[in-house]
Structures are given as structure tokens and as C-alpha cells.
Structure 1
Amino acid sequence: MLGFVVPGTSVKDRYMLGRFPLPHRGMGEVWPARDTLLDRPVIVKFIDASVIDLDLVRRFRREALLTARLSHPGVPAVYDLGEYTGQPYVVLQKINGIALNDLVAEQGPLPIGWVAAIGAQISSVLIAAGRLGLVHRDIKPSNVMLETSGAVKVLDFGLAAVPDDERYSRITQSGQSLGTVGYMAPEQIRGEDTDHRTDLYGLGATLFDLLTGSPPFDGATTLTTVRHQLGTPPPRPTELRPQIPAVLDDLVHALLASRPKDRPAPAAEVYATLAPLVQDLPPLPGVIDDTDEAVQAYAAIVGRVPQQPRSRTTPTDERAGLALEQALRHAEHMQAAGHFRAAARQWRRLAEDHARRHGDEDPVVFDLRRRAARAHIALGERDRALRQLNTLLQSRIRVDGPEHDAVLDLRQEIARLSGESTDSPPVPRDSHDADR
């Protein structure tokens, strides 16, 4: 124990420690405190440099620097770093929530919507980490917290790797395992190179745990668990919980693939699969009792980022394609029946949904937005249609250049529409469209 740290200690004449340290498994202590300068609660994390080796001190500082470098709502903010009477400390944002391993221990397997909400938020953190070339290497339930707002925080970047960056070079491990058995990827177990797909394996194991209440590989001993991970096919969560949606079952199974190349990539693809499943979020007694629209919306979209086009066809792609075709037919039926405004809304909704999965530059998104604009022509709203088409034109020029066939065709349509009268009466509409 850190005998020099006593309740009420004022660190740096600013951080006033609380009455008792928090439960903590590592070497050192974690204290609740108050930042007296900014009048806010914080966490002060110490390590005792007198009883641990220099490698762990380096890891401690390195973790603080990496966490500070990754600015994202799903990562605790780092407020300060220093020493108190020779002992390193870091001041962190206070997280008002519960670790996922404790959540599952208390609640059992989580509702599907919450599993998707948590997984989507972790994915968004991995997307941000990937932009920095950062690999966490220890994604597991105990390193993720769910706040009372429904937001997720990913903790403990002490094992993170940043390839080709000497400031965050790999530290000597002093016999420590690079990861956690049962959650770390096979390439970690073998001591091979790691990349963003390593974290996707940890995410898959975490999702399996949240869905079933148990880890995917859980032998009687560490050696048995490792043998299962390396020598047996990954399990499916539906083996323990048959009602799990097929798309989620397929995703978790793919994330747990032994070979990195067989896992979904990038993390944006995982996010795009999970985000649509975030719905029907019931209360989690004692953790999230308030499930009003604001909490549910925050859990669903925090960390949302533009998605990249998928590079390969998956079962998820096929299901999404079928759903899109059905929605397109529905919109076409509405337009054919004279429900032009409802059809325009449907085209726009489909465009935004498709853009979240495949990016704004996808040709399908262009076609859907063009259809939405055209629907306003039938309503006699040519000025509105022209504004939307001109915005779409500028977007396509940036993507395809001024001489692309799609750009030239759109220019001609705009020219024809601009030459027509903008004050012609609208076509007849039914009563449902008339008041919208």
C-alpha cells in the first residue's frame, strides 16, 4: 500500500483526495478526489515507484500519454500527469458507471439492444484509435465501463501499441502477459504482430460475454483456455442464446475468427452492423433506470462517424440489400399512388441510412437523393427541387469531376428544370400529402 497517501491529502495544492481509495487490482492506488481549482470530481491514480520496477513506471506514463492523445467521447479524459513525493500519478475524468464484467455479473446476459449500443460505441473508439495507428491489445469487459447516461468508456491503454512511433515504443513486459487469456487474439498468444484486427477479436469476445453471460473460451485452467482458443473453432452465441438475431450471431462469430484476415475489417464495418440493432433499450436496474429518449439516443449514436464502403460481400451485405430493395419498392408504390411528399421522405431516409453504412460518396446514395429531389417537382416545388439538385451536383463534381457522365446528366436535368416556370400549380395530391 502507498503509506504516504492519506485521506484528505492535497496533491499539487489542487486535487483533494477522498476518504477511501477505490477497489483496484493493480500495483498502487486509485483515489476519488476533487479538483478544487475547477470544482469538479476527478480520479487520481498512483503507482508506488519504490516497490515496482522502472518498466511499470514507464508503462504508467505511457498509458497516460496515449490516453491523452486519443481524444474521443468513449475514452476518459486525462487532466494532469505528475509526481507527488516521488510517486507518479495521473488525474483522470471520473466515470460514473460500472465495468461490463460487473454489469454481467449483476444483470446476467444483457438485452440485445444494449449489447449493440455498447458494441457500437466500442467500435467507434477503435475507429478513432485506428486513425492514430493505435492498437489497444486488451479489449475485455473489465476494461470497458457503462455510464449511467448510457455512454461507454474504454479504459486501460497500458498495453497499447503504436507501430513505428518511437515515443510509444514497446516496453519490456517483465513477465506480464500481453493481454488477457480468453479475450486476447491468437496472434497475441503466439507473440506475433498485432494490428486493428486484434482489437476486433477482443470486441467479439466481449460481445459474446455480454450476450451469453460467459466468455467464449473458458477452460478450467489458463492452459486449457489457450488450447481451446488455438485449437477449436470459435463458438456461436446462439448456441447458448438461440434468440440472438442472425446478423449479430454472424458478426460475433466472424470477429472471433482465428486468422486476422477472416475477421471483419475495418471497425467501421462492425459499427455499421451494430448501430441499426440499437433499439428497445429497457432499464438496467441499479445502473440505468431512466430510459427516456435522450438516454436511448445517446447510447445509440455517441461516437458515430462516417462509414467507409465495404470491400467485400458478407451475409450482412446481402440482408441489407434485400431490405433496401423492399424499401425502394415501397417508395415507388407511394409515388405511383400520388403520395409524393411521403415518397420524398422515404428516399431521403433511405439515402441517410445507406450513407451511414457506405459513405456519402456511394452511387446509391446519389441516386436516392436525386429521387427525393425529383419528388418535389411533382408537388410543384421546383425551386426546392433545384436547390437540392444543385447541392447534389456540387457533391458529385467533387467526387467524380466535372466531365463524369452522371455529372453531365444532372447538369442537363437542372438546365431543363431551370427553364420551366416555377409557379405552375402542383399536381393533385391526396389528403395525406396535402397537410405535410
Structure 2
Amino acid sequence: MAIRRKTNDRPGLDYRPPPGYRDSGQPLFAHGTVIANTFQVRAHLSTSRHGQLFEARDMLLDRVVCLAGTWRDDDAASVLNQARAIARVRAPIAAAVYAVGYHQEVEYALSERLDGASLSSYVLDQIARGQRLSVFEVIELMRQLATGLDALHEAGLWAPKTSTHNLLILPGPRLVLSRFAFGQGITDDPALCLAPEVIDGKVPANKLGWAAAAIDLYALGSVAVELLTGEPPFVGETLEGLQQAHVYAPAPNLRELRDDIPVELADLIDELLAKRPTERPAGAKAVLAQLDAIHALARTGQRRRMLIVDHEHLRSARLASRLRRLHPGLEVELVHDAETALAYVYARTPEFMLFDVRLEGSMNGLELCMYMQGTDEVGATELVAAIDAPSEQDTALLAQFGVHHVLQRDAHLPERLADIVTAAADTARTRDRSQPAPPSAS
């Protein structure tokens, strides 16, 4: 329990807690104090219920550092424990920790001094100037945050309250989570966790680690929306209204708000903001891989084309969304019957066509293959059949009608399709390199 200011029984004498306690009325470290014969206190930065931050100078290495001290009150969180957690993070999203120790019974930690603005103020400043962050800037900042989250998860740590308010942006640019920098630079952090499963109490206590990773990805999606639009994905006039919006309101349609956002990036953010944690990406590494592919596609603009033929609209839409992000160089189109599929093939000749063997309508999937056998276009299209439980007989029969791949329709179907596209691209590159160069003009 904290020591409180009280009056002594002897009249006229006023008792104050000694230095180092919250109610002492004195800073943890006075200006000019030298810590460990090396670090000289220069300025007070901030005060919280757990302690104080100071700017100090490393007199040996001639550099500015951050000095964090903990109140001696029993209810103050240990800065030593915080420093140990921060030191486990192998990524720029956390401050570098230089030293820990005690000075006159006060715990302290010395770290990298970070002097930057909050990401929220940076975005608002850009908007005030009549500018907005480019898609490439947003992708880079999302990559940094995803890289940081991955490093946190590898260290067994989480950041469920991540927002633009508690992210520092430094020259480079470099993003740093204030929580993993001893709270440097942040004065307006509402510190809310707004993932739907937390608000409605559905986070299972026996799966906290898995749940926390999914919650962090939800926060990444919320930050991404604010970077692209200048507004958070959900708003409410009250805290309860804001929470209800996160639980029930659909995510904003980013392509309607900004027409320069690649559909693959909009799909990724939409998945990050999925209400069900199981519908979000598998982890921060998966998000990084998608962001890298989206960035590469935005730079080159080169695409391959796949047609999906499936009578179930929602199932095919979800598959297309996953494919675009697993392989952003892929242009995915959807049709829901054989006649429309044939018209598409005649008009555009896709490199790949995935069809459901049990296609409903005037023709099923097998009949569609039989019809395409009589067209010249089929030779340029790699046919892929999806079936619930393919047998050897199914595979052999479909191969007779020109089907190149027979895949089981399960949770791994998007990854298997992306592998087929990647293999085809690799084969094409190998073939191009093996072709002799044209003769030079004499």
C-alpha cells in the first residue's frame, strides 16, 4: 500500500513520505544526479502512477538516454520487470535497453531515448496539409508493425491495446510501441482493447496466447484503416457505442473511400478486422508475406488470370479474397454457371480455371470440361477441379478431359491453388531463359 501524507500527533509537525514515494512531492531523481557514475539526469519528461521518466546523458559514450524510475510504493509496477520484457523483443518496435539497477533504493532502467510524435498526430498533420499517406507508405508502416508484432509473439509478449495513439513514429520512418519504450512520448493514449472477442467476453482463458495474437492482428487492421483514411474503422458517441460498433458494425469499404487502394490490400485489412478471430490471418508472418506480395505487385503491375466457376457465391468470394492475398499477382474473376464460364474463356482466355465438379445449372463440372475439349481455347487454360473427397478414379477420369489438377475442397485449397500459380510462373521463367537469343543484325 502506498504511504500517504499524514499529520503527526505532535501539533505543528507535518509528516511527508521520504523521497522516492509518490506522495513525497519530490522527483525520483533530482536534476544533475549521476546514476552508476555514468548517467547524469538532465530533464524530467513525464510522471505516471508507476514512476517517472527523465532524460539523461551517458557521459562515457556522449549520448542522450532515457531514465525510467519506479516509485517505491508497493502498488507501483517494477521497471526492472518491464525492462526485461522489452529486452526480449528483437525488433525496432521496442526501445534498446542499456542498463538496470538501483539508486538510493529506487529501481531504474536506462534505454534508448526516443523523441517522436504519435502516429495519430502524424496522420492528422498530413491531412491538415492537404495530403494523405500514399499506399506505399501505408504498406511500409503496416510491414513495420507486423514485423514488430511477430517479434513480440516470438518472445511470448502481446500488444492488444495497440493504436495510432501509442505508436511513436521516428525518422526513417520507424514505428515504436510506447508500451515497449517505457511510455516515452505518449500523453493521449486511451489504452483500449477493442477486439470484438474481448468486448463480448468470448476470449477463452485457456487459450490466451492464441487469442492475444489474433487480437493484435485486429489492432493492426484498425491502425491500417486510420493510416489510409485518417479515421478509425469504427466510431461511437460513447464508449459503449464504440464497443458495440466494433462487435456488430461491418468494416468500412476502403475501395469506396479511396480508389487507389489495391483490392488485395483492402481484402487483407478486411480479413484483419474479421469479427471472428479464426477468420483473421494465421499470424503476423502470414500478414508480412501478403504485404510483401502486394507491394511487389503494386510496383510491377504484372498479373496472371484465374477464373473460378462455382455456384456457391459466398464460398467462391471468400476463396477469391484469400487467393488475391496469397498471390497478389493473380487477377481472380468469379462466375457461377458453365455458360458464363464458357463466354469468359472465349473472350479472355484465363491462364487458370478452377471449377466445382458438382457445379449446378445446365452443365455440371464434368460436362463443362467435355465441352471445352472441343474448343481451341482450352489448350491455353490450366484446368483445376475442386471436389470434396477426390478418389483415384475421379482423378483419372478428369485427366481424360484435360484437367491438370484435382484438389480436395478443404481449408488448404487457397494455398494449393497459389502453389499451382507459382509453379506455372516459375516454369514460364525457366522456359524464357532457355530460349536462344534472337540473331543480331549483321
- TM-score > 0.5, shorter chain as reference: yes
Partner of 1:297 in structure 2?
Answer: none
Asked whether the equivalents of residues 95 and 181 of structure 2 are also in contact (C-alpha less than 8 Å), the reply is: no
Partner of 1:31 in structure 2?
Answer: 54
Work out whether 1:150 is the aligned partner of 2:169. Answer: no
Task: Tell me: CA distance 1:28–1:4, structure 2 relative to 1, closer, same or farther (3 Å).
Answer: closer
The equivalent position to 1:208 in structure 2, one of 208, 225, 236, is: 225
Output aligned runs, 1:220-369, within 5 Å: 220-238=237-255, 240-276=257-293, 313-315=319-321, 317-318=323-324, 321=327, 323=329
Distance 1:43 1:82 in 2: 14
Partner of 1:130 in structure 2?
Answer: 153
Higher strand share: 2
Distance 1:45 1:317 in 2: 47
Distance 1:147 1:278 in 2: 22
Distance 2:234 2:328 in 1: 34
**Percent identity over the alignment?**
28
Q: Which moved more, 1:242-251 or 1:208-217?
A: 242-251
Task: Provide TM-score, normalisation by structure 2.
Answer: 0.58
Partner of 1:5 in structure 2?
Answer: 29
Task: Provide TM-score, normalisation by structure 1.
Answer: 0.59
Local SS of the residue matching 2:251: coil
Q: Residues 10-31 of structure 1, C-alpha deviation per residue, up to 9 Å, x if partnerless?
A: 122211222x323566643222
Structure 2 counterpart of 1:67, one-letter code: I
Work out whether 1:120 is the aligned partner of 2:131. Answer: no
Partner of 1:15 in structure 2?
Answer: 39
Unaligned runs of at least 5 residues, structure 2: 1-24, 183-189, 205-210, 299-317, 333-349, 352-414
Distance 1:142 1:180 in 2: 8
Task: Tell me: CA distance 1:48–1:190, structure 2 relative to 1, closer, same or farther (3 Å).
Answer: farther
Aligned CA RMSD, in angstroms, stands at 3.8
Asked whether the equivalents of residues 136 and 157 of structure 1 are also in contact (C-alpha less than 8 Å), the reply is: no
Task: Tell me: CA distance 1:245–1:26, structure 2 relative to 1, closer, same or farther (3 Å).
Answer: farther
Structure 2 counterpart of 1:21, one-letter code: H
Distance 1:128 1:67 in 2: 11
Local SS of the residue matching 1:265: coil
Partner of 1:180 in structure 2?
Answer: 191
The equivalent position to 1:85 in structure 2, one of 104, 118, 129, is: 104
Q: Which has the higher contact order (CA 8 A, sep 6+)?
A: 1
Unaligned runs of at least 5 residues, structure 1: 160-178, 282-311, 330-357, 380-426, 432-436
Partner of 2:236 in structure 1?
Answer: 219
Q: Residues 140-195 of structure 1, C-alpha deviation per residue, up to 9 Å, x if partnerless?
A: 11332222112222331499xxxxxxxxxxxxxxxxxxx933x5312233452433
Alpha-carbon distance, 1:264 to partner: 1.8
Alpha-carbon distance, 1:68 to partner: 0.6
Distance 2:86 2:328 in 1: 41
Distance 2:91 2:285 in 1: 15
Alpha-carbon distance, 1:217 to partner: 2.6
Work out whether 1:68 is the aligned partner of 2:87. Answer: yes
Q: Which has the larger radius of gyration?
A: 2
Q: Which moved more, 1:253-262 or 1:30-39?
A: 30-39
Q: Give the number of aligned pairs.
A: 300
Higher helix share: 1
Task: Tell me: CA distance 1:316–1:146, structure 2 relative to 1, closer, same or farther (3 Å).
Answer: farther
Asked whether the equivalents of residues 40 and 56 of structure 2 are also in contact (C-alpha less than 8 Å), the reply is: yes
Distance 1:185 1:48 in 2: 32
Asked whether the equivalents of residues 40 and 58 of structure 2 are also in contact (C-alpha less than 8 Å), the reply is: yes
